[in-house]
Structure formats: structure tokens, C-alpha cells
Structure 1
Amino acid sequence: MSRNLKAGIFITVAVVFTTFTFYFWQMAQTPNFQVDKDKDFALLIPTGGTYQSVLDTLKKNQVVNDDISFRFLAKLLKLPERVKPGRYVLRRDMGNLEAIKKLRNGSQDPVRLTFNNIRLKSDLIQRIGSKFEFGPDSLAKLLNDPETCRKFGFDTTNVVSMFLPNTYEIFWTTKVDKFLGRMHDEYQKFWTPARIEKAKALGYSKAEVSVLASIVDAETNRNDEMPRIAGVYLNRIRQSMPLQADPTVIFAWRDFSIKRVTGRLSALNSPYNTYKVLGLPPGPINLPSTVAIDAVLNAETHNYLYFCVKIDPDGKLLGYHDFAVTYDEHLLNARTYQAALNKMNIK
């Protein structure tokens, strides 16, 4: 074989090899996912999901740019036999190789679960259940089961106290019982020995502290005022006075559009209506923040028994409250507040 022929063969092989290597590199590394520039695509593979179901989901959502290269590399890396359930985030800068290895290895991206400002148990169940594979129905079944609630130290009415508003990272495939275990662990971490001792000093259980904290949370969004409001309610309880907390009336009616609690509304017979019953409601009227819980545990010591929304000289609501020791003092504050509501045509 002549030297020129050998050189030609070598060059041809080198070109073919280089071309193939470049194409393979492109197929593996070039970004191949068409997702929103501000939002990545979360691929959900349910338990029992197949390779075909993965392809169907990607096609339905028009996520893959070059379907042929994705399928070729997926088969080469044996993805069809190694599909694992989970939640996998596909970024717009991700190539086939990175994505396929992620799916094949089961390298899930956790759900960032945030919940706060939730009033009803049913809303909490929907908010959480919709984020995970177990779904709302499975969560509702356990949270409405007396035995399950008892296992965690609650009943079906106050079990929502176990869910502390925060942001949590949890895998989408987490089983519902494991999820509840995680929430209980977070609850136990929050309730340190020091907090438990403060609750005992008040004469309340952890769940009862959460109930009162939910009322405090509903009364004000001013963190610095919460300990004073908590002190008012504790004073009223000590003197066997009804709490007469307007947020409990609103909760009892389950009508959160109410802006003004009237005598007709406060006449409702309900265990949650603290105008009609002494002491605390049977459960929280929202998910109390940890700030509100600590406000109850560290309530301000004073003689106030009443409070009313503070009004500035121009008749505007300030977001803070005027506090009073006597009912006569309170009436003066209340009349100013009611006049402001009338002026704003709040019925």
C-alpha cells in the first residue's frame, strides 16, 4: 500500500471519527429543552411510571427540541429500563446527557413547600396535597382520622397546629405518613424545653397555646404588638371574661369577607364564637405563625382588658391598637373606630 493511500485512509478515518465525536458531543451536551426563560419544567414521574409515559409527558408539554437525539441517547444509556419515580427539574441550559443521567439515577429535585395565611383545614389539605404524589384525598383521610391525630398528640380539630408556617424541601414521592412524620418532627424541634416550660407556666398545652396564637395572629400583623394583645386575652381568661375576639366570629361564620362584626353576627351559636363561649375555641382559627406563638409564650404583663384599632387624626386605620383597662375607656376608643368605619362605608 502506497504511502499516499495510507495517508488518505488515515485522514478519512480521522475525519469520520472527529465528525462522529463532534456530533455525539453535540447530541449529549447541547441544550435540548425548550422551557420558559423564567421557569424550568418539572417532570413528574409517578410511581409505576414507564419510559413511554416519560416520552408522552415531554411531547405533550413540547419540552424536547430534538426528540431523535434524546431517544437515541436514552436507549444508549438504558433509561427505558431504569426509569425512577420522582420530580425532576429540566432547565433550558440542560443537555441530553445531564437530563438522562438525572432521570436514570433518580436524582430528584425536592418540592419547595410553603404554607402560611391558611384558615381552614380543608384549604391546608388542598394546598399541601396538590404538591405531592399522595394527593389531597390521602392527606385528608389521615388528618380526619382520630387515631392518626392521637398518635401525634392532637385531635381532628386541632391537628392543624402541627403544621408550622414555613418553607420546607420535601421529595414529591414522599409517602403521606412520612410527610406527617416530617411535619411532627419540625413541630417537636420548635417546641424546645424552654418553650414547653413557658406554656406550662401559663397553664396551657402546646395545642392551646397555638389556638390563642391563631387569634393573636388574626388580630394584628404587627409583630411588635402581638405580646401586648396576647396579654389582653390572658388577662380576660384569668378573670373569666369571654375573649370576645372578632376573628373567632368571622371564622365561626366561615365568611372571611366580613369586615365588621355586628351584634347579629356575634350572636351565632358556635364553639368558635368567643362572644358566646368562655375560654378558647376547640381549635386554631388559622395556622399561627411562630412569631405569634412566641408572643403568647412571652406575653406582656399589664392590666389591659380591651383593645380597639387605632385611628389617626385624619380617620385612617393605623394598623396598631389603642388599649384600655376599663370598659369606659374602651368605649371611647370603640366609638372613634366605629365612626371611622362608618365614614369608610364599611357595614
Structure 2
Amino acid sequence: MILTNTGKDPAADARKSAAPPTTTEITRTDLVQSKTVDGQLDYAQRRAVKSPVEGTVTKAAEPGRTVALGQRLYERDARPVVLLYGSTPVYRAMKAGDRGPDVLQLERSLRDLGFGSGLYVDTRFDAATKAAVKSWQKSLGMTEANGEVGKGDVVFQRGPVRVVSADAALADGIGPDTKVLTVASTKPVVRAQLDQADRALATGGTTAEVSLPSGGTRRGKVSGTVVPESSDGAAEDGAAASGDGDVEVEITLTGGGELTEKDRQGTLSVKFVSESRKDVLTVPVEAVVALREGGYGLELVQGRKTRMVQVETGLTADGRIEVSGAGLREGLKVGAAEQ
């Protein structure tokens, strides 16, 4: 904002008779600094799923499908690869005599699926665990229900997942270096691009208002930035973007309301709110003048008389600026520069 030094003194003669050619009123309102960009609906925490063992895809993953505990993600060598819940990834086959956090996850999942009769949930793969695994394998229609869990038979994730893409098609060979599918959480998020100049808006917690193609709005907050997929194909959410290009921002939606297919396919309008001030006195930016002795002032107009008063300035947005000072109130007239 460039302000002109008018040379006026706050102690100037209040009996001045010439009113300014243009006046405006002090108003009380909310000021919001914002930036609006286009966005797309997506899902959080994208990650790749690979097969720890080699084989052939005999039933591919289904993009767009939500997979929950005990359901099949895909099939390898006519054998179902099943989603179970847990934070420790699969790193071995599991059999009687094994101990570890993976066994604990397996037993919790079996219990929650209804195969926990006589099962004590702990880190030990014992006879009760083997019996539960056999019952579970039979329910899946596996011809080899031997009570052992192969290294490539299950995928551990923290909860239900949405299949984003099937990266390996029917009859494709897969293995430890092959991405079979990409999954994400079932929590919808909005992704939007910001110019490098607006990088400050990518700060976690920045408020956003999302206008949906189906109508209505949803509030949200910036939960992180996203960098492109790494060399192994895994997306890295929540990491800081680098370089001089655009910044891709992830916004977590708050509040309820179902999202429609139109929302998923259409372009959303995302309004980032970088700063806001509620119920403050404001004037047009051009009404504020720089004072000779320093600081800023307003020329108050009372009938045909005017006087200069010193003010403190605050947030600027949409051509208006926040002002405060002794004697200021809503409705007072002030001089304004001619447009």
C-alpha cells in the first residue's frame, strides 16, 4: 500500500471550512485475506502395495472399490491376497512357534473377523492361532488350509482402504519390485495447486472453504503438502514440497455431508483464508494518509469542518483497511482520495 504524505498535522485548525471533495464512511465489518484456486477431490495417504513374493495376477484389483478387514485386494496364483489391520508390514510367513507384532495383528484381525474362539490375543502363534487360521482359510475357499500364513497372503494396513489404481493387470507377473495397486485411506481430501508466491498458505492449519460442484460448501484445513511420487513409486504425503514450482496442497475436510459422484469428478473452488479480523472498523485504503510526523491518519468530516486524527492500521483486504483510534466509531465520515 503506497500512502501519500499530505503534510497535514493532527493539531491542524478544526475550523477549516473547505470539506474534501469526496467522503466515505467508517464501517464495521469482517476483513478476510484470501486466495481462490481450483481443486480436485482425492483421498489421503496414498501408498503403493507390492507383492513380497513372485507370482501372476489371476484377479486384478478394482479401482474405486473400498476394501475392509478380511476382504480381498487381488488374487495371486489363484490365491486371495487379503487386507488385515495393523501398522507393521508383512515381512515373513507366519506359522506355529513364531512370535512378534505381526502375529499380534494377525490374531486381532482373526478375532474381529469371528475366528477367535479359544484364541488368546498375544504375540505368540500357538495351536489356537493355527486353528483360527485354518478356519479363516477355509472360509476364503483356499484349497490349502494348512494353518500357516504365507508371506504374500495378507497385506496389513491401518484400516479400510480405497483402491486408487490397479497397477498390475490380469496375467501380469508381479514381485517385490512391482507395484500391484495403489491404495489410499477412505478419508476424502482436496488437492489444490498454489503458486510459489502463495506458499505461506500451504502452512498446516490454514483455513479453507471448498465450494462443491454439487452445490454447497465444506470447510477444511491444510493438512500438508504433497511431493511427486518417489523413484519406487510411493507417494509421499505430508512432506514439504521443494524447488521453485507450484506447491500441491492437501486439505482435510471438516464437518459432515456426503460427497457425490459429481463432486468427485468435477472441479472444486478452494478459498484459502490466510488471515481474518472479525467486527473491526474499516475504511477504503485510499482514505488513509501518511502524516508528516509519522504514522497514519484520517480526515474526519463534521459538516463543513474537518480535522485530522491519528489512527492505527491493521489488516488490508478487498480494498479496505482496518483502523482504530480514539474517537473512531461506525458511521463517521472521512475524506477519501478521488478515484
TM range (shorter): under 0.3
Structure (1 or 2) with the greater helix fraction: 1
Structure (1 or 2) with the greater strand fraction: 2
Q: Which has the larger Rg?
A: 2
Normalised to the residue count of structure 2, the TM-score between the two structures is: 0.26
| RCO higher in structure (CA 8 A, sep ≥6) | 2
